[in-house]
Amino acid sequence: MKILQFGGTGQVATAVQAAAREGTEVVALSRAECDLEDPSAIRRAIQAAQCDLVLNTAAFTHVDPAESHPDEAFAVNATAPGVMAEVCAARDLPFIHLSTDAVFDGLTDRPYVETDEARPLNVYGRSKLAGEQAALAHPRAAVLRISWVFSRYGRNYVSFMLRLARERDVLKVVADQFGTPTDGEALAAFLVETAPRWAAAPSGDPAFGLFHFANAGETSRFEFAKAAIERDPLSRAKLEPTTQAAFAEPAPRPPRSPLDTAKLRAVFGFEPEPWRPAVERTADRLVTMGAIG
């Protein structure tokens, strides 16, 4: 089993490489090895690859900078996956692409399902929605929406909050934004374990299409941070709840964007772990490793 992966150093990209078992080879291309703003480079990479599946873990994920750099955001998040899907379709290769809860406006009183209307509030969300649509033009494509990703790899919300809690006496954390954290290592394991099914599945198989992948249960940014910080004996910060409005960020965020994963369970039999033990385990690992940043 050989996977061609766009993205080499991000947290999910790194987790996928770590999750690859004997019999699975992951060829991960960094931005330096394949410029995602160059469609011809993407085409060459896929056409030259002797692979069974193409996985895109790369994205322009900087939500606020996307507001002032929309062309770059759309090039990486929309045009690039569209090219990947087009070349994969021509070669009859399955294409797996990652998207985001930011395609929703957050004006809901229940977790979002895949058939809910996407109404993104910011440039990042709009670029990712365009990428979903481009990817799903390929009949052998699967798009997984994820949210609030954390892992022991790279810089993410858990590692960032752990660092701030060691540096500050008071840490103000948003308490009026709600969602479903996603264990990046569980996601990576799922991608590697499901790759053979995608590779063998024909067009029209239920394994293709749009899915939500996240841990079970929803929480606030405040409780998310608290669950991690409480695992660190060197944390000194007192946590104080605040509001999204208090931060006045350039890009508006959806106030509530939990993801319903019932379709994922029905099609793949995957049962997501509750978010809290996953966050606590990751925080414990980061504290033990000294990888807080």
3-state secondary structure of 197: helix
Assess whether 124 carries a catalytic annotation.
Answer: yes
Give the integer Cα–Cα distance in Å for 262 and 140. Answer: 21
CA-based R_g, the chain, Å: 19
Burial 75-86 (b: 16+ CB within 10 A, else e): bbbbbbbbbbbb
Q: What gap in Å lies between CA 273 and CA 217, rounded to an integer?
A: 9
16, 5 in Cβ contact below 8 A? Answer: yes
Q: What are phi and psi of 264, to 5 degrees?
A: -60, -45
CB 180 within 8 Å of CB 259: yes
Tell which residue, 201, 200, 234, 237, has the closest CA to residue 222: 237
Q: Which of 28, 210, 8, 183 is nearest to 103 (CA)?
A: 210
Angle between helix 275-289 and 157-167 (nearest 10): 60
Which among 112, 124, 153, 157 is annotated as catalytic?
Answer: 124
Would you state the structure tokens that stand for residue 53, as one six-digit string?
A: 């599946």
Tell me, what DSSP letter sits at residue 77? I
Residue 229 backbone dihedrals phi, psi, to 5 degrees: -65, -35
Looking up tokens 């050989």, which residue turns up? 2
- How many Cα neighbours within 13 Å face the side chain of 283? 25
Q: Which residues are catalytic?
A: 124
